[in-house]
């Protein structure tokens, strides 16, 4: 059994840790509310814009639809993996890396990675899957549509220039504070319309298809990336809040267990002292 001094030190240490995790939980809860409001507001707009984009792209022939270019043999793929710059959020980053590594293993094409969020890239390199070709970790310093647009334009340029045959987004989709779902979503080329979902005949182009190409399609792609970033940000705060909640509960249980052990040790020490006093008094009486 540990001595009383060691137990007091451990109880104090666990108590300090519990205060930190509890504070981090409350901070994450406040940030989660703002992030959840942002992604909830954007989703309907992004969903409708994507629907229009898919239908409009179906009316464009191969010479017009530079963003719809389909390659028969996919040789080079770029995975844009969205993780976080900070840890202490459970399996949030590990799940992204796991999905990236699974994609690399399953694909017959050459798969490069581009990370937004430094933790994912660090984990990937530690697991020996190669370094990312680049990153934009600083985007979280001021996450907004303009910064997301810059990254989207860079990705669109790589696709148009033929550097990659396909670009995929890998991110955590926010479901609720306790649940995040890893998504692997095609960014480029624009997904083809399937079956009865095609409704291109309903659209009247004004002023014309050229203007649609120059404005609507890039805007929709930028919104798609921005939505993925907001989803990931809300998921990160939810994952961290859940992780800190569990850590606080575990610290509380450990502190309770240590306090019980301390009280037992203290009681045993007091009992020994009483026995020694009684023994000494009896020895004096006998003499």
User: Domain for residue 277, yes or no?
Assistant: no
Do the beta carbons of residue 81 and residue 96 sit within 8 Å? yes
- Pick the most confident of 5-9, 64-68, 243-247: 243-247
- 75-121 pLDDT per residue, tens: 999 999 999 999 999 999 999 999 999 999 999 999 999 999 999 99
Query: Looking at the predicted structure, is the pLDDT value of residue 36 above 60?
Result: yes
Query: Looking at the predicted structure, is the pLDDT value of residue 272 above 70?
Result: yes
Query: Looking at the predicted structure, is the pLDDT value of residue 62 above 80?
Result: no
Helix (H, G, I), strand (E, B) or coil at 174: strand
- In the set 89, 124, 167, 230, the catalytic residue is 89
User: Domain for residue 84, yes or no?
Assistant: yes
Phi and psi, residue 65, nearest 5°: -85, 75
Which CATH number is 161's domain given?
Answer: 3.40.1380.10
Would you state the pLDDT for residue 68?
81
Number of domains observed in the structure of the chain: 1
Alpha-carbon 17 to chain mean position: 24
Query: Looking at the predicted structure, is the pLDDT value of residue 197 above 50?
Result: no
What is the mean pLDDT of the segment spanning 38-67? 78
- In angstroms, the CA 76 to CA 109 distance is 6
Would you state the pLDDT for residue 201?
53
User: Domain for residue 141, yes or no?
Assistant: yes
Would you state the pLDDT for residue 127?
87
Kindly report which listed range (139-148, 209-218, 230-239, 240-249) carries the lowest average pLDDT score. Answer: 209-218
User: Domain for residue 125, yes or no?
Assistant: yes
Would you state the pLDDT for residue 66?
81
Structural domain boundaries, residue 181: 21-243
- 202-232 pLDDT per residue, tens: 667 777 767 777 788 899 999 999 999 999 9
Catalytic-residue membership of 89 = yes
The pLDDT-based confidence of 195 (bands split at 50, 70, 90) is low
Do the beta carbons of residue 250 and residue 21 sit within 8 Å? no
User: Domain for residue 285, yes or no?
Assistant: no
Per the listing, tokens 């809860």 go with: 29
User: Domain for residue 279, yes or no?
Assistant: no
């Amino acid at each position: 059994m540990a001595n009383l001094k060691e137990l007091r030190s451990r109880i104090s240490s666990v108590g300090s840790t519990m205060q930190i995790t509890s504070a981090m939980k409350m901070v994450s809860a406040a940030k989660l509310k703002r992030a959840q409001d942002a992604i909830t507001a954007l989703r309907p707009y992004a969903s409708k814009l994507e629907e229009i984009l898919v239908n409009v792209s179906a009316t464009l022939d191969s010479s017009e639809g530079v963003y719809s270019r389909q390659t028969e043999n996919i040789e080079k793929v770029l995975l844009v993996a969205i993780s976080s710059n900070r840890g202490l959020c459970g399996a949030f980053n590990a799940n992204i890396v796991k999905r990236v590594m699974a994609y690399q293993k399953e694909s017959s094409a050459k798969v490069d990675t581009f990370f937004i969020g430094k933790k994912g890239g660090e984990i990937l390199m530690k697991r020996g899957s190669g370094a990312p070709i680049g990153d934009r970790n600083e985007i979280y310093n001021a996450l907004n549509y303009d910064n997301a647009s810059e990254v989207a334009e860079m990705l669109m340029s790589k696709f148009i220039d033929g550097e990659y045959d396909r670009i995929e987004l890998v991110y955590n989709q926010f479901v609720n504070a306790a649940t995040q779902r890893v998504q692997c979503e095609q960014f480029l080329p624009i997904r083809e319309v399937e079956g009865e979902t095609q409704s291109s005949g309903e659209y009247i182009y004004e002023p014309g298809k050229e203007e649609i190409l120059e404005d609507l399609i890039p805007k929709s792609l930028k919104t798609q990336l921005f939505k993925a970033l907001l989803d990931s940000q809300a998921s990160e705060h939810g994952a961290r809040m859940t992780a800190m909640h569990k850590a606080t509960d575990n610290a509380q249980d450990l502190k309770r267990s240590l306090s019980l052990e301390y009280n037992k040790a203290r009681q045993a020490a007091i009992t020994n002292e009483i026995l020694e006093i009684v023994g000494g008094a009896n020895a004096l009486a006998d003499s």
